[in-house]
Amino acid sequence: MDQIIIHVDMDAFYASVEMRDNPALRGKPLIIGSKPTERGVVATCNYEARKYGIHSAMNIKEAYRLCPSGIYLHPNFEKYKAVSAQLNDIWNTYASASERISLDEAYLDVTDQAVNWEGARRIGRLIKQRVLDEVGLTCSVGVAYSKTAAKMASEEKKPDGYFEIRTPEDFVNLIIDRDVKVLYTVGEKTAEKLHYFGINTVRDIQLRGDDIVKLLGKHGRWLSQIAYGIDKRKVEPYRPEDAKSIGRELTFQADVTDFEFLKDVLFLLSLSVENRTRRVGLYGGGVSLKITYANMKGLTRSRLVPACDSAVTIYKESVRMLDRIEKRPVRLIGTSIYNLSGDSVRQLSFDDFLTEGNSGERQKLLDELQQKYHLDFAGNLEKIYHGETLHRTVEYMRKHL
């Protein structure tokens, strides 16, 4: 026996947390994301809403068209993070390695703890029961020989499901005549491309492995392997430094043409990036600016910088890039740092000396922002780092230009 892996996936996580905390929401279509009058997408929805055809990442206007009687709520990420911490405490009890995929999903290596498949089944059942008893939520658990198979197993009996896939043969027998979209990493666009060339099922992938590689390259080789149930990846505990970037972006409720206002928004976004970066003790070697124009055309610009984690540096570099792009109505703006490193010994930039030495420039920018928009950050700045508060603050600023 090489390994036994459990994949735990919470059922409609955000929506389930809200229904747990407000029982009056149960039994009604609940959509978490933006409000119908706002721009945005569905973050998740409960199973009652899914009956209307609503799904994650759907445009909120389309969701409202399908279900005008639904209840639409903004997500409360701080609450979801707190629940996620409880879940991880439970899951990690049973694993020698835990790979968290998101707030509500993780792979667990239980090979040593389980010893055999009967032990793995016992652990899977224990996890489900403890999550229900201690957190008040249901989850779906897949137990399998590989990560791909474990994820497939957790999807098989949702919601509140349990399923096992013990061998590659069991995996193949389960999915061989299903649509290619059943395979992990096959999204809508990849599926469309495969369907166009007559590759519709997992069996077709097996029969036309060479064609798949020609079509999709490295991704095609991966699909050719997992179509036979071959996946030898290990559970890799998440490390913050493995992230490719740390960023923050914001979609405006109405397109913005005032680029000086965009600079003010960039400072708030830079403060949020600084906060997240310092929480995990990382530094960035580059700054990126992301823009989406009103016509949905997007662009990104990047600049290498001396290793930094300061909002002032992030802000100044973002503004330099903003000054060089075409001035057209903007729908979305974001900034991020990349080339992340955990090194604490580094060469400081000039901006670092300003912000780390006496934080004078950072405070000056904050004071100017407060004065300009009649804001009060005293004791409230931490709240700005939370998504909903940031959105409300920016919309307030836009209306008080």
Token pair, residue 59, equals 């445009």
Sheet holding 139-144, edge to edge: 97-102, 105-109, 5-10, 139-144, 162-165
Domain spans of the chain, in order of start: 14-77, 172-226, 240-399
Please report which confidence band the pLDDT of residue 395 belongs to, taking 50, 70 and 90 as the band edges. confident
The answer to whether residue 105 is catalytic is yes
Give the predicted TM-score (pTM) of the model: 0.77
Rounded Cα–Cα distance for residues 191 and 197 (Å): 10
On the question of pLDDT at 55 being above 70, the answer is yes
User: What does the pLDDT average to over 56-63?
Assistant: 94
Which pLDDT does position 399 carry in this prediction? Answer: 83
Q: Which amino acid does the sequence have at 1? A: M
- Given 48, 105, 164, 317, the catalytic residue: 105
Rounded to whole angstroms, the Cα distance separating 97 from 99 reads 7
Evaluate the CA torsion angle 317, 323, 325, 330 in order and state its sign.
positive
172-226: CATH homologous superfamily? 5' to 3' exonuclease, C-terminal subdomain (1.10.150.20)
| CA 334 to chain CA mean position, Å | 15
DSSP state of 116: S
CATH of 14-77, one of 1.10.3210.10, 3.40.1170.60, 1.10.10.10, 2.160.20.80: 3.40.1170.60
pLDDT digits (tens, 9 = 90+) for 279-329: 888 889 999 999 999 999 999 999 998 888 899 999 999 999 999 999 999
Beta bridge partners of 71: 30
pLDDT: which is higher, 273 or 279:
273
Sheet holding 30-33, edge to edge: 42-45, 30-33, 71-73
Instruction: Please name which of 6, 12, 4 lies closest in space to residue 139, comparing C-alpha atoms.
Output: 12
Q: Which residue has the higher pLDDT, 6 or 101?
A: 6
Superfamily of domain 240-399: DNA polymerase, Y-family, little finger domain (3.30.1490.100)
Over residues 109-132, mean pLDDT: 96
